[in-house]
Structure 1
Amino acid sequence: MTIRLALAAAAGKMGRAIVAALSEQPDLQLVAALGRPGAENLGEDIGRLAGVAELGVPLTAPIAEALAQADILVDFSPADAALCHLRAAAQAQVPVVLGSTGFSADQQKELQELSTRIPLVAAANMSVGINVLLALLPQVVATLGEDYDIEIIEAHHNQKRDAPSGTALALGRAAAAGRKVELDAVACWDRNGSDGLRGKGSIGFATLRAADVVGEHSVWLAGAGERLELTHRASSRRNFAEGALRAVRWLQGRPAGLYDMQDVLGLRRTPAVE
């Protein structure tokens, strides 16, 4: 059965990667492509914008019209726009695959409430590789023990808005879970000034923004005389797009609830349904 997709932020970097990947999937059909209201390229064929053959799908703005045609909404919009789309999807009873990051605590709370009304896969990173790392990290941290210092280093392109990245935060939470603590209790976000002494048990973060870096994340686990580095480097956005489409297929027919890529990939022992 063909799954009909509406795609938000379709003209963005991730949107175009998803359109390109979609064009090669016979079981998935793009029926609506959403852009920013007032954007210059509204009305243009999204296939042409993505650098593939024309798909007969123009870039449009009205979310209600897009949802009326779709089985699932895929959204990588900035947080504020994504939450507006999610409210509309909940109203229309359309499931959502959400790759947006940068939500505030209040927005996260609303996102969880909306997931009680529709099935929702929300993940800071749709890459299969990074999600395998997220699954392994708690066990690695627990095995090494508390004498190993943990630092998380991430790099992205110079237009990324949120810092640290959603993926870096997810890695931090996974590392904290390995020590059975909450990330907020042990996170060190910066070391400005003269007080750079490392607190025992802290999890440090470093953020880099440069040029067109797609995404790099490293977890350092440093003990006396050795350092283990777990690193994921994305060389293109295609892997994120393929992960999002994998989530689309998995989400079809699921009950309402909040899921993530650990559920999609079968890496979670206990389902994340709220």
Structure 2
Amino acid sequence: MKLVITGASGRMGRMLIETALQTDGIILHGALDSANSAFLGKDAGEFLGQTTGVLISNDVEATLMGADCVIDFTRPEATLAYLPICIKHNINCVIGTTGFDDAGKAEIHAAGAHIGVVFAPNMGVGVNATLKILELAAKILNSGYDIEIVEAHHRLKVDAPSGTALKMGEVVANALGRDLKDCAIYGREGVTGVRDDQTIGFSTIRGGDVIGDHTVMFMGQGERVEITHKSSSRITYATGAMRAAKFLNAHGAGYYDMQDVLGLKD
């Protein structure tokens, strides 16, 4: 399977390239980066001390030609620019980018009518197992428990709360028969009054080089249940993304998430 990696000079892009080069059945077909990148024209494996023959480019259409799948962990505006070109050339997409508005999410969903799309805020296998655990916990702890979600990421992350935290909130809200849009609280300041027991609170921490920590707390009278996932390396996202790319190669057109890829849906 011929794979193109976007954001090739970034931290996640480099991890994806390294993982692709080490994954059986994957051929690194292309590497894309922004027009102002200092790495344009350089070999995609140079940071590893390897020569791959794949040069980093910002010519999207030329780079995508002949590819089977794109893995994209960049910014929403970049992802949405790649998407119509992928549809035009029948190239599957694995999208780990976060920070989309509702219109952007709808555009990605619609693309699944034409190509295979895996769209997930977190490609990590452990995180997706955690989502299933959260669904079960919410169904059991469905009364008498206040729910708070705390997430921490590195100082360079530009969107908040993280896509993973929002997905956790959606899973919990859905299990409780609620709509996260109606019950989420994203910040508290001043005299906020007594807590509404139907709300789901979010707290965001940004600092240092934290890869990604997420904790969901179910707080009742006399006890607190905490479900935590901590990432110590981006490799978990990269290996999950490779698994998603292989899934699309086998399944073709459709809109999927990592729960589909991992066979976790009921």
- TM interval, short-chain normalised: over 0.9
Find the aligned partners of 2:12 and 2:167 in 1 and give their Cα distance. 20
Runs of at least 5 residues in structure 1 that lack an aligned partner in the other structure: 270-274
Of the candidates 50, 56, 59, which is equivalent to residue 56 of structure 2?
59
Residue 249 in structure 1 maps to residue 246 in structure 2: yes
Answer whether contact 2:6 2:32 (CA < 8 A) is retained.
Answer: yes
Query: What's the counterpart of residue 159 of structure 1?
Result: 156
Structure 1 residue 52 displacement after superposition:
4.7
Residue 224 in structure 1 maps to residue 221 in structure 2: yes
Find the aligned partners of 1:237 and 1:190 in 2 and give their Cα distance. 28
Structure 1 residue 220 displacement after superposition:
0.5
Per-residue CA deviations over 1:55-78 (Å, capped at 9, x if unaligned) read: 121111111112112111111110
Answer whether contact 2:145 2:197 (CA < 8 A) is retained.
Answer: no
Answer whether contact 1:146 1:179 (CA < 8 A) is retained.
Answer: no
Query: What's the counterpart of residue 230 of structure 2?
Result: 233
Number of residue pairs aligned between Structure 1 and Structure 2: 266
Query: What's the counterpart of residue 115 of structure 1?
Result: 112
Structure 1 residue 118 displacement after superposition:
0.8
Structure 1 residue 47 displacement after superposition:
0.8
> Which structure 2 residues correspond to residues 1-274 of structure 1 after superposition, within 5 A?
3-49=1-47, 51-269=48-266
Find the aligned partners of 2:134 and 2:124 in 1 and give their Cα distance. 16
Indicate the larger mover: 248-257 or 149-158: 248-257
Query: What's the counterpart of residue 272 of structure 1?
Result: none
Give the partner amino acid of 1:258: Y
Answer whether contact 1:121 1:261 (CA < 8 A) is retained.
Answer: yes
Give the partner amino acid of 1:135: K
Find the aligned partners of 2:95 and 2:8 in 1 and give their Cα distance. 13
SS at match of 2:50: coil
Give the partner amino acid of 2:41: G
TM superposition score normalised by structure 1? 0.94
Give the partner amino acid of 1:38: N
Structure 1 residue 196 displacement after superposition:
4.8
SS at match of 2:250: coil
SS at match of 1:133: helix
Find the aligned partners of 1:87 and 1:199 in 2 and give their Cα distance. 43
Answer whether contact 1:93 1:117 (CA < 8 A) is retained.
Answer: yes
Give the partner amino acid of 1:58: L
